[in-house]
Structures are given as structure tokens and as C-alpha cells.
Amino acid sequence: MRAVIAEDSVLLRIGLVRVLETAGFDVVAEVGDAEAVLTAVEEHRPGLVVLDVRMPPGFTDEGVRAALVIRKQWPDTAVLLLSQYVEERYAADLLSGDTRGVGYLLKERVADVEEFIDALRRVASGGTALDPQVVSQLLLRRHSDPLDRLTPREREVLELMAGGRSNAGIAAALFVSESAVAKHINSILSKLDLPKADADHRRVLAVLRFLGVG
Amino acid sequence: MRNPLVLRTLLKPFDGAGRAAAFLTAGALVQVAALLVLAVPWLNGGPTRALSVVVAVLVPLALLALASPVLTVVQGARFRGRLGVDIPRPVEVGGATRAERAKRWLRSPTAWRQVQYHLFVGPLIALAGTLTLLAWAAAAVAATVYIWIWALPVEVRVEDIGYTTHAAYVTVAGIAGLYGAAWLSRALARLDTRAALTRLGPSREELLRLRVAEVTESRAGVVDAADAERRRIERDLHDGAQQRLVSLAVNLGLAKATMKDLPEDARKVIDEAHREAKEAITELSNLVRGLHPAVLEDRGLDAALSGIAERAPLPVRLKVDLASRPAPTVEAVAYFVVSEALANVVKHAQASRADVTVERFGGILLVVVSDDGVGGADPSGGTGLAGLAKRVASVDGTFSISSPTGGPTVVTVELPCAP
């Protein structure tokens, strides 16, 4: 699959290219600002775009804005945003439309190469990858009783589930068995009054909606 | 050229007397010009009917009041030029139109203090000054009476003046008169200076008000500069050290993921370095996040606080209720308050949870950070709370803390923000 990278730090760009190539992506363009990434997407029509949030000229949320444009103009292109800090506001913007093929992760997650490659593949194939920090920021704002009824372990599972992981992924992250994860998920869904869904993506959607985004 | 000691002692009383006399002369000239305005209606015998007498008095008075700023400038130049004394400029009255400015000026106490000087003090001193100048002249003539006797032919001389004891008396009286005139000139100059400083310059109250305004402005500048500095440091760390560390961790991660056939020892070293790099990223991120995050400028306080609350290693409940965004400085201080207060909770409170609320009541932004910890926080002890209180005071906010032993601790900060 063709991929485009937009990252203004040259050092990190080199690392990202290597990681994406390791994952089997074909990096067709690397750019350093938000305007150039739109041109590159127009030209190459990649399946995946990896964007830094803070880029020239304003160094605030250029990446988020570019991602929104990409999602609107080329809905089939998956978008993964990387940032030094994740902000729930940007996540809300990003998830306000379709939540398929969207990712928003801390830059430091790239260092856990194997997990990051999982996230890349998930997003590229239409899944979701939200940083656990985004999900816990969203949880900060929800003061509803059902959330208070969750056990700490169930909250962890909820964060990973909202982040877009499959049962197997959650099990691997928490070092528990898949059947234990399935049990936790059933308990969470019933405590939060969410419909049971088998497909990972529909489940993510339900959780995100519960958290007030998507 | 050095005068002998005796001569210097004799001439000492005349030091500055010439300057004072010149100063008084200039003052008399200015006053004559000013008072001429008042005299205009009376030059041709003056009005006779009661009403026109009133008009003839009031109109020139009003003119003088309106023109007093100009007179004040002229007097200021006289003091500066002749005596080297600087009369501070009075506080200016504002106003959009000329008419409005004139109206405000006539109502200001400054105007009437100035008129007092131009109308009473100035003329009185000018009169005294003129008499002093005459005294100078008379004393000079008397002191040099022998020269006159010598120079003038006998026919034009007053009859009984000659080289007599009488003339000696006149000479002595003249010299004494010169000393007296010198003393009088300097005394009048001092008196005039004191009167001008109190009546032409700003009053004490105005000076203080001016000073407070200056200090307030410069403090705001300092606060803004400190904020800008924080932003710059944040930006530098973000673009520099943080990116480098992430890049380092990514490379180590890549090594870990791709070089599977390394000896056990080497893998261990890479693992360790990878972990350390990630910890360094987290530590640096937490530090930088407390400075001035980009999202604060971009999306405001509400958006920025979720990041900091999420980073705290204990559950934080966040409630932010703001209809509109406060000024950037106030936002930065409120952000700093929450950041520091939460850091304190984590360090000292042994709390199981914390609550952060930010609300706006009219012109007040209320920030409350509370926890269920052990209490006993002392703002005079830890530098964290003291720094917090100072930063709050820098924008005229109030800081209070309630932390009985056994808890709970509640930090309350009120920040002024225009509604």
C-alpha cells in the first residue's frame, strides 16, 4: 500500500520511513508541512497518510486540519495523526465524521515498533487507533454513574477497546487471556447499556459515541 | 583663574544671584503679557454697566483658564532655561473632540491650580521681582556714587553731592543694598520654584496615580514577557530535545524489532536503552506540558486542561464551564494554577482523587483544585505554592488555601477577567 508521511522533524521522518517500510508500506512522498501533504495526496492517492499535528507555518493544529481535508476529499484514504501530546479536542474533530480508517497516537508510540505497526495496519484497513491517553482524557469529562461502576480493570479494557483494539490485541496488552477480555467486555457493555456487537469496529463506534465523540 | 580667598568670600552671596535676577526678569515679562489679556476691556476707560463689567471680567478669566496650558509650557521653559529646574508636565485630560477636551480641562483641578499660579502667585512674584530689579539698580547706583561724582561735571550734579562723608554713607548703603538684592532675588526664585512645582506640575495624588498606572503597565509587560518566554522554551524543547528523544526511541525500537538474531547481552542492552528513552520522553513531556502548551493558545483553557488532568497519576475530575475565552494572560495563569496545584497534590497530598473546577462569575474566573489527601499544606513552606500565589498576584488575582491536618485541601484562586 502506498503511504505519505508529513512530519517537519527530519530526524523523526527518517525513523518513520524506516518503520513504515518495515511494515511493508511503500512510502511515495515525505513532506514537512500541511500544504505539501495535500498536494502529495492529490498526486499519489495513497492508502495511508501519516501526519504530525504541529507543523509549519503556525505550529498548532495544522496536521488536524489537513487530516480533516483529506478525509473529506479522499474518504478512502486512511489517516494516522501523530503528536507529542494528544488532545481530546483534536480527537473529537477527527472522529466527528466517519471513524473508519482514523488513528491518533502519541509520537512515542512509534518507538514500540511492533505495536505501532499493528496500529498502522489496523488504520490502513479501515480500523481505528486511538491513543489510550485520548480515551482517558475523554473519560475525565464523563461523570456519569455507569462509568463509576466500572472496575479499574474494566476501565483499562474500555480504554483499549475505544482505542480500536481487537480482543486479541487487548489480551496481549494486558497480559491476560482472550476469554478473560471477552468477559470484561461483556460486563462493560452491559454496565454502559451498549449493544453487543461482534465486529471490532462497530464496538469502537458504540464506545466512542458513549464517550461523546464520533 | 582663581580668585583670592578674600574676594571669593566677599562674592559668595552673589553666586546664582545673576541667574535668579534674569529668571525674575523673564517672569515679569511673561506676566505682563498674560495680564495684558485681562486688561484689554479696560484700556478705553472700561465698561460701565454692571453686566458688561461682569462680562469684561469673566471672559478674559475664561480665556486665561483655557490658555493656561500654553502659559504653563512657557513658564516651564523659563524654569528650565533660567534655573535648570524641571517642572513635571501635568496629567493630560483625554477627550475625542477639542470641545470635549476643553470641557474636561476646565473641570479638572489641574486647570484651577494652574490659574491660581498664572493669576495670583505669578503676578505677585513678578511684582516683587520687579521691585527687586529696581532695588538692584538703586543699590548699584548708590554703591558707585564716587564714580558718578568723578565722572559727572559739576554743573549737572545734584548740589550737595561731593567727596563728603555723606557720599561714603551712600556707598556703604549701596553695597549693603546689592547684598540684599542678591539675597532677595534668590529667595524669590526659590519661592517661585516651590509655587510652580505645586501648582503647575501634577499634584501628589496625580503623581501617585501616574506612578501606579506606569507600574501596572510595566508589570503587565513583565508578565507577558514571562509568558512569551515560557512559550519559546516550550517550542524549543518541542522542536529540539523532544523530537530527538522520540527519534532515538524509534531507532532503538526498530533495532529491537528487526535485529532478532542478536546475542542475549546485546538485546538486553537495547531493551534497557529503549525503556530509558521512553521514560525520558515521558518525563520531559510532563515537564514541557506544564509550561505553555500549544493547545492552550489554539483551543483555550478547557481543551488544554484535559491533557494535564489526564497526565496526573491519580483520578482527576475536571469541570470547566466557560462561555467565552478569557484573556491569554489569564488563561496562562489559570493553566499554571491547575498544573502546579495538581503537581502538589501528587507530591504531598497522598490523595486518592482530585477535583478541578474552572468557572466564570461575571468578571471573575474561579479556579478550585481540591483533593481528599492528608492536608497540612503550608504555602510558606513549599516553593510550589508560594510561586503559585505570586503568579496569581501578578495579574491581581487572589489565592487562598484551606488545608487542615487530615485534609481535605482546597486551593481557591480568583482571577479578574473582563466579562
Span B219-247, pLDDT tens digits: 989 988 988 898 899 989 988 899 999 99
How many residues comprise chain B?
419
Q: Domain ranges in chain A?
A: 2-130, 135-210
Between chains, do A85 and B250 touch, taking CB under 8 Å as contact? Answer: no
**What whole-number distance in Å separates Cα of residue B223 and Cα of residue B60?**
50
Q: Are strands A78-83 and B316-321 parallel, antiparallel or unpaired?
A: unpaired
Residue B156's pLDDT is what? 65
Angular region, A29: left φ>0, alpha ψ -120 to 50, beta rest: beta
- Give residue ranges of A with CB < 8 Å to any B CB: 9, 11-12, 14-16, 18-19, 22, 54, 59-61, 84-90, 107-108, 110-114, 116-117, 133, 136-137, 140-141, 143
**What whole-number distance in Å separates Cα of residue B196 and Cα of residue B207?**
15
pLDDT in tens, B67-81: 888 888 888 888 888
Q: Residue B375: what are its φ and ψ, rounded to 5°?
A: 70, -160
Residue A36 — pLDDT band, cuts 50, 70, 90? very high
Residue B55's pLDDT is what? 80
Q: Indicate the burial class of B1 (C-beta count within 10 angstroms; 0-12, 13-18, 19 or more).
A: exposed
Nearest residue to A202 (alpha-carbon basis) of A100, A121, A90, A78:
A100
Residue A80's pLDDT is what? 96
Q: Which range is most confident: A86-100, A170-184, B144-158?
A: A170-184
CB atoms within 10 A of CB A28: 14
Task: Report yes or no: B352 at the A interface, CB cutoff 8 Å.
Answer: no
Q: Are strands B364-371 and B354-361 parallel, antiparallel or unpaired?
A: antiparallel
pLDDT in tens, B80-91: 888 888 888 777
Between chains, do A89 and B303 touch, taking CB under 8 Å as contact? Answer: yes
In CATH terms, the fold of domain A135-210 is: Arc Repressor Mutant, subunit A (1.10.10)
Quote the distance between the C-alpha of residue B389 and its chain's center. 24
- Residue pair B56/B116 in contact by the 8 Å Cβ criterion: no
Q: Calculate what percentage of chain A has a pLDDT beyond 70.
A: 96
For B65-93, letters b (16+ CB in 10 Å) and e give: bebbbebbeebbebbeebbebebeebbeb
- Residue pair B312/B371 in contact by the 8 Å Cβ criterion: no
- Apex A43 CA angle, A38 and A47, nearest 5: 80
Nearest residue to B330 (alpha-carbon basis) of B216, B415, B419:
B415
**What whole-number distance in Å separates Cα of residue B345 and Cα of residue B357?**
15
Maximal CA-CA distance, chain A: 50
Residues of chain A with C-beta less than 8 angstroms from the C-beta of B293: 85
pLDDT in tens, B122-149: 889 999 999 999 999 999 888 888 888 8
Average pLDDT over residues B397-406: 92
In CATH terms, the fold of domain A2-130 is: Rossmann fold (3.40.50)
For residue B244, give the chain A residue with the closest CA.
Answer: A11
Question: Testing the interface with B: which of A87, A136, A147 to mutate, by most B Cβ within 10 A?
Answer: A87
- Residue pair B89/B99 in contact by the 8 Å Cβ criterion: no
- Taking only residues 241 to 300 of chain B, the set having a beta carbon closer than 8 angstroms to any beta carbon of chain A reads 242-244, 246-247, 249-254, 256-258, 274, 277-278, 281-282, 285, 288-289, 293-295, 297-299
Residue B339's pLDDT is what? 92
**What whole-number distance in Å separates Cα of residue A70 and Cα of residue A66?**
6
Average pLDDT over residues B395-405: 92
**What whole-number distance in Å separates Cα of residue A48 and Cα of residue B290?**
33
**What whole-number distance in Å separates Cα of residue A124 and Cα of residue A25?**
10
Q: Which of A22, A59, A89 has the CB atom closest to B254's CB atom?
A: A22
Closest Cα in chain B, distance from residue A65 (Å): 12
In the predicted model, is pLDDT for residue B93 greater than 80?
A: no
In the predicted model, is pLDDT for residue B39 greater than 80?
A: no
Closest Cα in chain A, distance from residue B250 (Å): 4
Q: Which residue has the higher pLDDT, B213 or A202?
A: B213
Residue B330 — pLDDT band, cuts 50, 70, 90? very high
Average pLDDT over residues B374-385: 78
Residue A39 — pLDDT band, cuts 50, 70, 90? very high
Long-range contacts (CB closer than 8 Å, 24 or more residues apart) made by B221-226: B222/B394, B223/B329, B223/B394, B223/B395, B224/B329
Residue B46 — pLDDT band, cuts 50, 70, 90? low
Residue B295 — pLDDT band, cuts 50, 70, 90? confident
Average pLDDT over residues B321-349: 91
pLDDT in tens, B243-290: 999 999 999 999 998 888 889 999 999 999 999 999 999 999 988 888
- Residue pair A148/A50 in contact by the 8 Å Cβ criterion: no
Question: Testing the interface with A: which of B231, B233, B243 to mutate, by most A Cβ within 10 A?
Answer: B243
In the predicted model, is pLDDT for residue B181 greater than 70?
A: yes
Sequence letter at residue A187: S
Q: Which residue has the higher pLDDT, A18 or B149?
A: A18
ipTM of the complex: 0.88
Helix (H/G/I), strand (E/B), else coil: B162: coil
Residue B253's pLDDT is what? 94
Task: Report yes or no: B313 at the A interface, CB cutoff 8 Å.
Answer: no
Please give the torsion angle defined by the CA atoms of residues A142, A144, A150 and A153, in that order, rounded to the nearest 10 degrees. Answer: 10
How far CA A169 is from CA of A164, A173, B13, B97, B275, in Å, comes to: 9, 6, 102, 74, 21
- Residue pair B349/B409 in contact by the 8 Å Cβ criterion: yes
Helix axes B17-39, B50-78, angle to 10 degrees: 150
Q: Which residue has the higher pLDDT, B305 or B63?
A: B305
Residue B378 — pLDDT band, cuts 50, 70, 90? confident
Residues of chain A with C-beta less than 8 angstroms from the C-beta of B310: 133, 136-137, 140
Residue A30's pLDDT is what? 95
| Average pLDDT of chain B, as a whole number | 86
Residue B1 — pLDDT band, cuts 50, 70, 90? low
Cell output for A144: 456519569
The sheet carrying A26-31 orders its strands as A26-31, A2-6, A48-52, A78-83, A102-106, A128-130
Least-confidence region, from B25-39, B181-195, B349-363:
B25-39
For residue A21, give the chain B residue with the closest CA.
Answer: B254
Quote the distance between the C-alpha of residue B173 and its chain's center. 53
Task: Report yes or no: B309 at the A interface, CB cutoff 8 Å.
Answer: yes
Between chains, do A60 and B257 touch, taking CB under 8 Å as contact? Answer: no
Between chains, do A89 and B249 touch, taking CB under 8 Å as contact? Answer: no
Q: Residue B369: what are its φ and ψ, rounded to 5°?
A: -120, 120
pLDDT in tens, A71-122: 999 999 999 999 998 888 898 888 887 788 999 999 999 999 999 999 999 9
Residue B299's pLDDT is what? 87
Q: Which of A61, A89, A111 has the CB atom closest to B274's CB atom?
A: A111
**What whole-number distance in Å separates Cα of residue B10 and Cα of residue B364?**
71
